Structures are given as structure tokens and as C-alpha cells.
Structure 1
């Protein structure tokens, strides 16, 4: 959805101020992966209206990564995203490429900027075949894409640091950008509320009626506070200096006091009536922006960004990519690996999938690992060692899973996302299994008709009921598989698939080619929604991915010549089977899966 439309829609149902976040492109691959996690976590904890991604001044590799970040935010994380686009070092061909990638990802918001001078130049000059002014970029986007994109532009309450033009002339330039097609503006950072409010009054007097979004820069350290103010050539109120200078050597105190100062500033500009939305320059940090919002009272989970219930419409967050917006079914195996799932299905033709389902075995591309990129573990080799150390035994691997279950580590090689509280009702059972070296991979608890508004298990429209079959996925020694099969061979209630690295499959499914819904919801005036399934073809594709992950993990130990860790990974790859069991009796209170495994 367009930024201006989201802001208007919210104003129609709530008087509460809204907010958004800005992130910049990290310089390392690991930094990118960490940023994805941070963006996802900050969205879950605060529900911003949108996020935006900066464009690297001067173009190049980091600029191209901007479009990748936008595509991932839209398609995988399901976050409404605005992409910065500058004129710096950008011929029209590269602008076209960036706009097309944004369009393809479902992004509908562009912040059109002239941009800073390239890092190797002291002055800004247009590249051959490019644009000189932001207004020219706005006109070009409007001419090429019509009304598809909401176009934002920059505003400078204290003047442009490279231009000594008087204030009225700068507002005239802003009016030209608006007349060219801009529909919202985001301002440069500032710390003087009075200067900002006076500028807003002049903007409105000039006939500029589009939303004014103030750019808010958190104060994290005293040195950074002074440096950013000097770089942007903005006025520092004496009160800021008086309160921060005496504590300048204590970063924690500076952040805490700086937060109080910004909260007072933000409340004053919100009370002025000129703005209803705050845009926080996160600098890719999490704590400082959330502290500001918390003290402003804007972190309530009672309202969604559109004034609706904050619960997700599906158990997993929907993609905002236009080709995936109708997707309502996913195999449970990728519950904690949304990045690889979306990557492996992103190039499939949408008409191949009935009922808005991408994870469909009818596609010959299903299970193609090449779509996931060169690595399936989203951590660097060094980070992997920091997170997961060097397990020497299967018991060490099982303990690593226990640490994950106890939230001592945030991810695992096969689990990109941190645990939510749905697992709490079976947490002790999972820990007990791992202590018996039955290594759990994925799970969900039984749910029988809980209201869709439940804060832990709820999803979907209001006034509905949700259901879940108990599900468990785990690694089991091959030596124990015959006993498991004998126990389940004639059981219609507990159905299972088990497969080894070589692809040898064992199952008790009466028809393994049919999908088994393990999550569904009943809602007024709707068909039954069945968003999460188990099926044989999907499981075999997941098997390929899972054992590939173990081999990548092993490769890191090979690179560091850690023989005992290599041996334990070889043991898991060669001597274990990947198993999933579904308890199809979602009514019974018996803990059948765990009771069975405790006797295997």
C-alpha cells in the first residue's frame, strides 16, 4: 500500500500518532542477515506503518543491494517498504533497473532524492545520462509508472547544508517537487522543535498540503550527536547541550537523557497539529528508537497499523509481493525458514498453484536448491562458530537445541527465526526428548478451537476459531526406525514420514501424496482456511535442504580443521533419519507423540 494511503487510512480510525523506520545498507553479508532479523524483530515488537531502505550515495554494489533488501522486506518479511532512489552516479538505465526491481517486488513507495555527492567528490554533478534535480527524477517516475508509486521527497527545515539559498526559495523548490508528483515528504533530522514548527507553517502557507513526516534522529552517544548535527548543519538548542554535555562520557546516560529530550521534542511537534507521523532514523540500531516510541506511548499492541486487530491474517506473515499476495498455504517444514522457502518459490509462475498455494508439488521446480543462493546457512563461518560453537558429540548438538528452546541462542543452522511463545506448552517435552538425543527440528502444539483473538495462537479475522494438530519433526538414529515403524504401522491417528540422506522413505500414510492440513481456521462468512500442511513431496524437498544444511555446517568445521565436529556431523548425515509425526486427533488431551517417543 502507498504511504500516503496508509497514513490517511489510519487517521480515519485513530488519533494516535504513527511511525516508521529507516535502515541503511550494511557493508557485509553477515550485516545484511543480522539486519533482516532486526527489521523483522522491530516490526513484531512495534508495528511500524512502513520501513525505508537507503540508497548508497555513488551507486555501486551497495546500491544494488538496496533493491535486494527491498525485495526481501516486501516478499519474505511482509513489510511495507519505501526505497530511496538518488540521482547520484545514476544514469537512466540504472534508475530504470532499480524501479523495475522495486515494481516486481511489490514496492509502491519511492523516496526520490538528488543524493549526496559521491565519496570521491566535493561537489555534486549529474552523471552523463542522469538527472540533476530530484524534481526531474519525480517527473520521470510519474511519466514511466503513472500512479503505481507513491513518491516522497526530502524537506529541509533548516536549509540545505550545501546551499545557502534563503528559506523561501527552498520552499519554492519543494513546491516544484510536489507539483511534479510528490505525495509525501520526509524531513532532514533536526533538534529544534520551534524551527521545525515555523517551517511547517511556511510550507502550508505555500500551498503544500502533502503529509509532512519529520525525520527523528535518536541520540546514542554525545560524539555522534555533535557529529551528525555538524554534518547536517542544524541548530542545537541550548537545553540539549546543557543536559548532555555534563554526562558526555557516559553513553548510557547520554542515550537515556537524549531519549527524554527527543520525546519532549516529538510531543511538541505532534501537538502542533502539523504532523501525525514520526520517521525514525534507526542507524540500524534497535534500542534507541524503541525507547523513544515507548516513552511516547506509541508501542501499544492494541491497534494494528491500519487500526485493526494486530493479529496476523495467517499463522505466517503474508508476502507483499504482488504474485504472492493470494498465497494461503505453505508446508510446515519451512515454518522457521521463510527466506529459503520464498527464494525457492519466487520464480514460479503463479498460475501453477491452485488456491494461492506456492508450495505445490505440481511444479517441476519444487525442491530446486539453486533458488536459495549459494548458502543455506544465513550466518558466516565466523558467526556460526560464535553462535553454535564446536559440538563434539550428538549430545552437544542436542544441548545446542536445548539452548535454543531455552532462548539462550536466537537461531540454529536449520532455524532462521527465534522461538515464539506457542512452543511454551510443549517446551518441557521438547527439552526432555533432546536430552535423550532425539534432536527436535520443528514442532507445534495441539489447539482445539481457540478464539482467533488469542494473543499466542490466534490469527485471521475476528470472531473465528483456530485449530492445530500436534506436529513434531526430529532426527532419529536409523537403528530406532524399525521400532518406530512397528509402533505406527497400523496407526491412523499418528501419521509419519521418515527419510534418510539417501532418500529412502518410510511412512504409514494411507495416501502420502495428499496434503494433510495441520493448521486451519473457521471464520464467519468464509471458507475454511488451511494455511499449513504436511505432504510427501514437500517433505522430500525439505529433506534435500535439511541435509544440505548439515553438510554446509560440516564444511565450516572442515575449513577450520575441527575433526571431532566433522565426525559428529558425518554421524548425523549418515546414521540418522529425518522424521515428522502428525497427531491427527486434535481433540484428545493425550500427549501421544511424546509418549510414543519416550518409549522408542
Structure 2
């Protein structure tokens, strides 16, 4: 959705709270990009109206900008605004960037002239490029009509090349006249000056939203450096309060938070501002502290009418996607990547799962293990035995570790009711991968299990996915059959009714199952007023086979981190998962009776 439309909708009620957004810049390393995605993922839960991503002018960083925009829109489900500058940008590169944004579903561009060269000198346009931001705005509007919301920059305290505020407002009016939809300002701390500037802007007939750019204060040196670089004034009361604590970063952050909260409250009270934009510098804590003190972070994110139990993509090719295999519950990056060319999403149903549903595992040019070798060791250490790997999973289940090689996101409160059983399984040498407890008609507003429209009810079958020593598979199957037998022998079920259904496969593709090849088993569903049943997560064969490839590839890549002689025990331990363990998933189709899955492992 376009930013101006989102803000209008968010503030239809005159008494609505201010909204907010975050800016991120493009990291210089691949691991930095990965860490940024993780941070964006967490900050999604604060419910920003949008994020924006700065432009790396020309070369590799500009390509990363479009990659980050694509991931934010398609994988993370974040409304995204892409910066686009004239610096080092001939029209063919501008066209490519705009097409990439368009294809990803991004509908918001911040059109900027860009900064002059770092080594000094005047700004000059490249051959075949634009000289002013207004030229870029006009070009985007001419080529794409009203598809994009176009933002422009403004400078309440003047610009290095033009200190006269009134002249700059005239330049701003020119950008608005050729098609700009909203304004994001340079950072500032002098709120009184900003309010006077807003009055001048409105007096000039500029009526589009003004979004103030706010820089949190995380350390005194960074605060002074950024203010000097941006050539903005620092109010005396800022210096008076920060100077005495300047050598204590924690106190600086606390005092800085208080100062920014005061500033934000004055902005909102002025009536000129109802949205706050934070320059995060790819950090999280300082911005969040300000939002918490402003009481803008809700205890529970309000559920929208189209909320699903997985993060919905904003890519236009996936807008009708309503079903996903549960195997990728904690690996949304790889799922979206592997299904990005799948032609069944427009149907809004699972459809034919054989129709190019999963791209080849080889499409991951940087590997399926999302962390660098160094970062992997920082996160997961050097496990030298299966017991160490099991202990790592236990630490994940208990919140001491935030991710695993096969799980990108932290564990949630959903597992609390089965946490003790999961911990016990891992301590016995069975490595759990994914799970969910049974749920029988919980209100859709429930803070743990709820999703979807209000006044509905949600249901879940108990599900468990795990790696088990192949030597124990036969006994496990016997235990499953013992539970299923009373139902299979009943006259009421002539066609093999299985309470417990399963898939078991090893790295050699030795597959066994008690399900039909073409069946899709819904393991989560919702009943809502006035609409059909939604069944957003399923278990079925084709996707399980694709997931199996990924699980064993993850183990393979993890083991290769330890190719040196001193880490041979770690390599051996991880590689034993590939050689000696089978991947299993079990669904308990009786979502109203006693739990059955965990009883399978007694005396196994």
C-alpha cells in the first residue's frame, strides 16, 4: 500500500495515536545483511507503518538495496519504501531499480538528488542522469503514473549548498508540484524551529504529509558527530543534560530517550505531525525505548482481518496465498525463495503440489545455512557429540539461544504446554525440529494461538517433527501402529483410519508413510463468521520430500564449518545426523482427545 494512503487510513480517527516507521541502511557485508534481516524481523512486531531502505549509489550496494527491498516485501511482509538517488545513476539504472521495486510489490520511493562526492567538490549529474530530485520525481510519475507514492526530502535548518530556508521551501514546492506525495525531513533536535518551519511550509500551500526524521541518541560522541555532519543546531538544554553524563553510554541513552520523548510530544501537540520516522542506524534499542516511553508499542499487535498464522508476503504474486506446508514454519526465507516462481498462488489454494512448487535446493547461491561460519560458531558453538547438539536444542527451547541451523526465529510461547516433553525428547537423543500443540476451538483473539478475524475460533492438530536414530525407526512405527490398530479394526472405518499419520525418510530417500500420496492434511484451520474454513498450514508428501533435502543440506553445510583437524569431533557429530538419523513427522488427527504423540517414545 502507498504510504500516504496508509497514513490517511491510520489517522481517520482524530483521536488516533501517532504512527511510526524505521529507516535502515545497506550493510557492507553479507553477514551484516543477514543480521539486518533478523533485526527487521524482530522490529516487524512493533507494528511500524513502513520501513525505508537507503540507496547505495551505483555498484554492489545499489543492488543490495533492491535485494533488501525485495526480501522485506516478499519474505518479511514489511511495507517498504526504497530510497533512489540521482548520484551515479544514468536513466537505465534508474529504470532497473524502479522495475525491481515494482516487481517486488514496493509502492513507495523516496526520490533524492543524493550527496556530493565524499572527497569534496560539487555535485554533478552523470551523463544521461538527472540533476535535481524534482526531475526524478517527474520521471517516476510520468513512467509509472500513480503506482508509486513518491517521497521527497526537506531541510528545516537549511542545506550545505543553500542555507536560506525560504529558498529551500520553494525548491520543496517544485518537487510537490511535479508529483511528490509525502515529505521526510532531515534529522533535527530544535523542535521550536521545526514547528516554525512547518508553518512556513503550510503557508506556501504545501499540504502533503510532513514526516519528521528523528535520530535517537545512543552515545554522546555519535550524537555530536551526526549533528555536526548534518550541520544542525543542538538546543542548549540538550547539551546541559547530556554533557554531565557523556562518558556513560547507558546514561546518555537514558537521557537521550527522555529528550527525544519530549521532542516527539511537542511535535504531536503542534498539530503538524502525526507520524514519526526513526533513523535507526540499523540499531534497535534506542528507537524502541523512545516508542515505549511514548506508549506507541502495543502489548499485543492488533490483528488485521487477513492475518494468518504465518507472515504474509506483500509481493503482488503472492497476495492470494493462504496455505503453506508446516515444515517451513521457522524457515520463511527458504520457503519464499523456493516457491517464488510457483504458479499456484493465484488460486489461493494448495492446488497441484507437483506444479513447479519448489525450486531446486541449488538456487541458494550462498547456501541454505543462513549464518556465516564465524557467526554459526558464535551462535551454536562447536558441538562435539549428539548430546551437545541435543543440549543446543534444549537451550533453544528454553530461550537461551535465539536460532538453530534449521530454525531462523526464536521459540514462541506456543510451545509452553509441550516444552517439558520436547526437552525430555532432546535429552534422550531425539532431536526435535518443529512442533505444535493441539488446540480445540480457541478464540481467534487468543494471545498465544489466535490469528485471523475477530470472533472466530482456531484449531490445531498436534504435530511433531524430529530426527531419530535409524535403529529406532522400526520400534517407533510399531508404537504408531499399536495406537492406530483399534481404529483400523473398527467396522466404522473400512478404509484405514489412522489417528496418527506419519512420514519417515532418511538421506538415502528410504521413505515410509501411512498416508495417501496425493493427500494434504490440514494441521491448522480457522472458523470465522461469514466465510469459508481457512486451513493455512498443511502436511503433504511432495513438500515433505523437498523439505527433507533442505534439512540434510543444512546439516551438511553446518558440518563443513569444521573441516580443520582440531574440530574433527564437531564435524563427525553433525555428519552423523546425515548418516545415522531419519527425518520424521507425525500428526495426531485427534485434536479433541488425549495427547498421543509423546507416548510413542516411552521405552523406545
The two structures have a TM-score, normalised by structure 1, of 0.96
- Secondary structure class of the residue paired with 1:214: strand
**1:595 matched to 2:599:** yes
Report deviation, 1:469: 0.2
Distance 1:119 1:65 in 2: 20
| Counterpart for residue 179 of structure 1 | 177
Q: Is the 8 A contact 1:319 1:325 kept in 2?
A: yes
Q: 1:10 maps to what in 2?
A: 10
- The answer to whether the 8 A contact 1:113-1:134 is kept is yes
CA shift in 2, pair 1:559/1:460, >3 Å: farther
Contact residue 499 and residue 588 of structure 2 kept, 8 A:
yes
Partner Cα distance (1:501, 1:216) in 2: 52
Cα separation, 1, equivalents of 2:346 and 2:188: 51
Is residue 2:122 matched to residue 1:123? yes
1:240-263 deviations in Å (ceiling 9; x for gaps): 011111111111111100110111
Query: Does the Cα contact within 8 Å between 1:414 and 1:549 map onto a contact in 2?
Result: yes
Alignment of 1:499-514 (within 5 A): 499-509=505-515, 511-514=516-519
Return the offset for 1:168.
1.3
Other-structure match for 1:334: 328
- Kindly tell me: are residues 576 and 406 of structure 1, through their superposed partners in 2, closer, same or farther at Cα, counting changes over 3 Å? same
Distance 1:455 1:312 in 2: 16
Selected match of 1:480 from 460, 472, 489: 472
Aligned residues: 589
Cα RMSD for the two superposed structures: 1.5
- In structure 1, how many angstroms separate the alpha carbons of the residues matched to 2:433 and 2:582? 12
1:498 CA displacement = 0.4
Deviations 1:488-525 (A, max 9, x none): 2472101110000011101122x132100000000001
Q: 1:401-550 residue pairs with structure 2 within 5 A?
A: 401-489=393-481, 491=484, 492-509=498-515, 511-550=516-555
**Paired residue for 2:308, among 297, 311, 314?**
314
Match of 1:323 in 2: 317
Give ranges in structure 2 of 5+ residues lacking alignment.
485-497
2:26 maps to 25
1:59 shift after superposition: 1.9
2:229 to 228, 231, 234: 231
CA distance in 2: counterparts of 1:9 and 1:563, whole angstroms:
58
- Distance verdict in 2 for CA 1:286–1:440, change over 3 Å: same
SS in 2 for 1:441: strand
Name the CA distance, whole Å, in 2 between partners of 1:122 and 1:539.
Answer: 59
Q: Indicate how the Cα distance of structure 1 residues 283 and 236 shifts in structure 2: closer, same or farther if over 3 A, else same.
A: same
Q: Does 1:83 align with 2:82?
A: yes
Distance apart, 1:471 and its partner CA? 0.2
Deviations 1:329-368 (A, max 9, x none): 00000000000000001123x3x35742479522235251
Aligned position for 1:398: 390
Distance 1:294 1:339 in 2: 29
Runs ≥4 residues deviating over 6 A: none
Residue 51 of structure 1 corresponds to: 51
CA contact (8 A) 1:498 1:577 kept: yes
For residues 86-140 of structure 1, give each alpha carbon's deviation from its aligned partner in whole angstroms, at most 9, with x where no partner exists: 0000111111111000000000000000011233443211111110100000000
Q: Distance in 2 between matches of 1:8 and 1:556?
A: 50
Equivalent-residue separation in structure 2 for 1:121 and 1:61 (angstroms): 22
- Deviation of the 1:302 alpha carbon: 5.7
d(CA) in 2 for partners of 1:456, 1:28? 36
- Residues 120-199 of structure 1 aligned to structure 2 (within 5 Å): 120-164=119-163, 166-199=164-197
Q: Are residues 1:356 and 2:352 paired?
A: no
1:210 aligned counterpart, secondary structure: coil
Question: Are 2:112 and 1:113 equivalent residues in the alignment?
Answer: yes
Shift of 1:213: 0.2
- SS of the equivalent of 2:563 reads helix
- For residues 565 and 27 of structure 2, the distance between their equivalents in structure 1, rounded to whole angstroms, comes to 26
Distance 2:453 2:6 in 1: 20
**1:183–1:211: 8 Å Cα contact kept in structure 2?**
yes
Q: Could you say if the C-alpha distance between residues 158 and 400 of structure 1 is closer, same or farther in structure 2, counting changes exceeding 3 Å? A: same
| Deviation readout 1:392-425 (Å, 9 max, x if unpaired) | 1111110010010011111001111111111111
Cα distance change of structure 1 residues 28 and 303 upon mapping to structure 2, 3 Å threshold: closer
